[in-house]
Structure 1
Amino acid sequence: MNFQPDSNLDSFRQEVRLFLGRNLPADMPRRKDGMRSPRAELVRWQRILNANGWGAPYWTKEHGGTGWSVAQRLVFDEECAAAGTPSLDAFAHKLVGPVINYFATPEQKAEHLAPIFNGDRLWCQGFSEPGSGSDLASLRTRAERDGDHYVVNGQKIWTSYAHQADWIFLLVRTGNETKKQAGISFLLVDMKTPGITVRPIISIDGCHHLNETFFDNVRVPVGNLVGTEGEGWKLTKFLLNNEHATTADLPTLRRFHRQLQALAGTARACGVTLAERHEFLLRLARYEAELKAITVMVQRVAEMEQDHSPAAHAMGSMLKIRGTELQQKMSEFLVESLGDHGAVSYPDPHAQQAPTGATLPPQETAQGVATEMFFRRATTIYGGTSEIQRSIIARTLFHF
């Protein structure tokens, strides 16, 4: 691995900063946390990017994207996080979008890609079910063929932002093969289809971003099947293996680090600033060292992805474990460092005011910290639990 600074990447970073300085509207609220932006802000920002040729920053030019390298995509994410831009619809850009690009029919591409570019169609993911989370292939939601339609019955759970989504990409069982992975298919479903019911799940962070989604005789046109019937597991592996270098969520880790640095000189404990307390500085130094190590690991995985190395899969799993565990440790340390102020929760992550009766320190660093700490408890679960990631690492390294 080449550890020398990439001058081309430095110039690209400056290009992104210049773009953000010119195109990020002054009246657009700056995002301070890792939660998804409200729909109006997300859509507005997506349309600004699209109008300037950056509507698909993670896709190849062949598919209408920017054609950026993995390293450039990481720079784009980091600079957007530092500038506080609204989020993008990750389900569309990083998950179902690549599947549509590589496996969908021309008719499906014509139907779905333009609305993604313009922010007209938001997506959610219908994979996990009660009892079928880590063992995804054990899913029970069925789709029975009835003429030109599939009739879908079943339940999905932990469906993030289903209450805001226009469409869902859905794994369903269409066969009864002995090998459970062989009977799964991949459907695109309009959330307005009769028979779909979305019920909220309020998570420990006090927010509504999770849901359980029910399908009761939902009729889905056969033309909404991506790939062939029974090919859903192949498409799922492609989807889940995409963008290994992003699994550590480096922009979030760096944001936590900036927040801790800001607290060091402003927050006080026992009459002195945190920067004057050696135990605070020691922990901050340890997390900074871990952050630097993960940064190098991200660069290494990015190079592997660029070279299509088979080892990128195992390294991506290692990166997810290290990155998500560090997210949890740093968010907990932020809450601890704020003392009593760390207990102030913001059930609405986009609220500008503290709950009634709450008193914040002069700086705004405390806003939403407790809420995000609770949210980060899920990072070692979603996207493949840490236990599953360790199994992937063991199997892959044994194979090599």
Structure 2
Amino acid sequence: MKKNIFSLSICSAIIATAFVTPAHADEAALLQKIEKLAAELDAIKAELAATKQKTDSVAKNQQQLSTSVAENTAAISSVTAATTGSAVAMAEQASKSGSQTVISSYGEVNYTRPRQSNSQAQTDVARAVIGITHRFDEKTKMVAEFEWEHAVTSKDDKGESEVEQLYVEHEIRPGLSGKAGLFLMPVGLLNTNHEPTAYYGVKRNFVETAIIPSTWREAGFGLSGTHDNGISWDAGLTTGFDINKWDATSTDGSTSPLGSIHQEGQLAKSRDLSMHAALNWRGVPGLLLGGSAFTGKAGQGAPNSVANDARVTLWDMHARYNPGKLDVSALYTRGTITGVAALNQTFAGQVTPVPSSFYGWYTQAAYQVWKTDSYSLTPFLRYEQFNTAQSYTAMPQGLGLAPAADQKVTTMGANFRIGEGVVLKADYQKFQQDSNQDRYNLGVGYSF
């Protein structure tokens, strides 16, 4: 705009100069110059008019934008006020009552097809769990989980209905809590983090189901502590196992030695109690190092029992490193059952005597190859080796028992996550000892 005004001033000066030109100047040349200057003046006026029109348009648009912003701001303020008022009201109500209840759940449905036998393919509603956490105040809460397995529960069906957890926890002081009731044992990587969104593969790994009987819970008392240096610990006194539940005519003991004598809080015999302790360190971002131990007598003072001195001991060491897209983990666990030599003599000739030792280990690696706001894809590879009957106690001559062979399984597959609470899974499992068990698995799981 300033440039145009300056140009107009120059033209005016030139015109004025032209009119005061001496009379002896050529009249035709003067008229030609005047006409040229008039044409330039008209062009400048047109440019000024166009500039004014643009300026008026911008001002109008700015006015409309200001009006729109004001209207939207008013609307947002109204909604915010209403929402805030509702939230404040809810907070005030929760504060007055001093309580809060949260509902949670997880579940999974799986499909399995053996590689060499399509006729044995099956689909199973593996589990559905409903959880309730009620906080009485800022320091005291109740936790309960109710689980249904294999869809249907009745006398003639394989389904189960059970209380997976039921305990009360109280914060004694910052960093120290105590609990009482039925709770999960702080063992391994899977037992306390067993939702389908928390592990790789359609089914839980063999080591933490056959050797560590996940999900393993006991009734009793426990203490938990956390420290600023990344160390956390658990310790407690609980119920234990009942060796009198061992069925030598069944293969349950060879599938999971401790799973076959686990009492699960069901009228649990408590003559002999057990102790447990766990220690974990998370001092480096993404790194977890830890271990646990559990021990207790399992005879339970049964009348006329030859195994009242039986003792169960299980320990594990584990590590996990998950700095970002990479997720690697490893675990080793070993269990023993002592004081069962006399009991095994009564099982002579049966298919499943009581082992004196059993063990397992695995290593696993996963890498997130793709991620958006709503989806992620993480392939993984796991190798595990385990033996549910590595050794037996000494037996009289002629009654000696041969240890079982190590089982070796390789699992490869991928987890496809949808948002934060849903996962689709696919994997293939290769059994080194018996290729007839090789299988494809598909699954869907959720957790919230």
Please report the TM-score for the alignment, with normalisation by the length of structure 2: 0.21
Q: Is the strand fraction higher in 1 or 2? A: 2
Structure with more helix by fraction = 1
